[in-house]
Structure 1
């Protein structure tokens, strides 16, 4: 191997490391924005030709991602407001990062675990809305794409695994406590573009989201 070949190899290996760091920052930014209901900022992290798989639904393209985050989530968790709301708790730490960048450095794959705490404080709950506090665990299996050195989320697959209230925990969660999507857009204005075939179900079901590696 010539000196030039060795330098090229080292530059490529360094580029892979830099890509991994950029993807990690991207996914962690997603978690922080989601925590504070900055849904416009979440959507900006996605590629134009992206796909989001969530609770049995497939949301296609940036428009589909916006329908989920700035539509469904914003109306449900932030009263239509982009940003944090008094008395609303949402925490999505990104854990156990496992990232693999393709040799051409244009595509990457990553798996993360999240342990979520969420709820509404009694001072913030509407008169007809019960106070809620819950825990949730899930896994992300994502694909990323790089254009001109800028990484974006190409495919986000969130496999919610278990759900439990703070009062009773996950051991008493009824099957399909959070049911998979069953109605698509536009019949459901915030619904997915299509339904995921053989969509995984919540605990006590224990199917494994396939590993990319």
Structure 2
């Protein structure tokens, strides 16, 4: 099960959109209670006619031997093709027949727990979505709306807390900071180069770059 991939650590969490789901209870709430039950009625396996191909590529993983327990960081690009086949019964689909493209990025952290590598902090930034008929050019801003309430505020499937970092979707194209330096120069990417100013305008006038908080040094 997905939940078993995560560490038994008080600071374990999944960051998705503008929310953080803390601990294994939070992981279960997001992946099992929210995703699995919504898309496939809780089945731990494939469902006829439902597609969710989730490719991860361009992976960069760094191992840190000077930490206790041993830790690692990983950066991955995600490309997703998802949707439902027209033969599926619409009455059983909470969101009806639909299909979409999705692209995002992971900046994750891992720890070695009892000799086994486990996910410590999973941060997924789903940058853009596009329908098949019009593509991403006409995708409404924040196609997937941010969380409006936390678990404590009354959303039984909501995050434990919000990420105070103005996380937005396409057409916001601010980059996620790299956990590693340039492989040739040894320099970190400057904050201004992670911003996404309007074409031809001064980056200093644009929104601040995204942040990765709570990252181990």
Do 2:141 and 2:170's aligned partners in 1 also have CA atoms closer than 8 Å?
Answer: yes
Do 2:7 and 2:113's aligned partners in 1 also have CA atoms closer than 8 Å?
Answer: no
Number of the residue aligned with 2:72: 108
Instruction: Report matched runs for 1:32-181 at 5 Å.
Output: 41-49=1-9, 50-104=12-66, 106-127=70-91, 129-181=95-147
1:80 to partner: Cα distance: 2.3
Aligned-partner Cα distance in 2 for 1:199–1:152: 28
Number of the residue aligned with 2:157: 190
The count of corresponding residues between Structure 1 and Structure 2 is 173
1:48 to partner: Cα distance: 1.8
Q: Which moved more, 1:194-203 or 1:126-135?
A: 126-135
Which digits, 9 at most, give the CA deviation of each residue in 1:16-39, with x for residues without a partner? xxxxxxxxxxxxxxxxxxxxxxxx
Aligned-partner Cα distance in 2 for 1:132–1:71: 21
2:159 is paired with a residue whose SS is coil
Structure 1 residues 113, 125: CA separation in 2 closer, same or farther (over 3 Å shift)? farther
Aligned-partner Cα distance in 2 for 1:199–1:109: 23
Aligned-partner Cα distance in 2 for 1:190–1:149: 32
Do 1:180 and 1:199's aligned partners in 2 also have CA atoms closer than 8 Å?
Answer: no
Which digits, 9 at most, give the CA deviation of each residue in 1:19-63, with x for residues without a partner? xxxxxxxxxxxxxxxxxxxxxx11111112211000111000000
1:116 to partner: Cα distance: 0.2
Aligned-partner Cα distance in 1 for 2:169–2:96: 23
Do 1:89 and 1:119's aligned partners in 2 also have CA atoms closer than 8 Å?
Answer: yes
Aligned-partner Cα distance in 2 for 1:67–1:158: 16
Aligned-partner Cα distance in 2 for 1:69–1:115: 18
Structure 1 runs, 4 residues or longer, greater than 4 Å off = none
Aligned-partner Cα distance in 2 for 1:124–1:62: 33
Q: Which moved more, 1:193-202 or 1:62-71?
A: 193-202
Aligned-partner Cα distance in 2 for 1:47–1:94: 21
Do 1:200 and 1:207's aligned partners in 2 also have CA atoms closer than 8 Å?
Answer: no
Do 1:57 and 1:193's aligned partners in 2 also have CA atoms closer than 8 Å?
Answer: yes
1:103 to partner: Cα distance: 2.2
Number of the residue aligned with 1:205: 172
1:82 to partner: Cα distance: 2.1
